[in-house]
Amino acid sequence: MAGRRNGLAGSIIVLIFIGSIGFFNLSQRPRFQTFRSVDVVQLLGTGMCYGVALAGIFALFRKRNEE
The pLDDT tens digits along the chain (67 residues) read: 455 556 666 777 887 788 788 878 877 888 877 888 888 888 888 888 888 888 888 888 787 777 6
Percent of the chain scoring above 70 in pLDDT: 85
Tell me if the pTM is above 0.75. Answer: no
Concatenating the DSSP letter of every residue in 35-63 gives: S-HHHHHHHHHHHHHHHHHHHHHHHHHHH
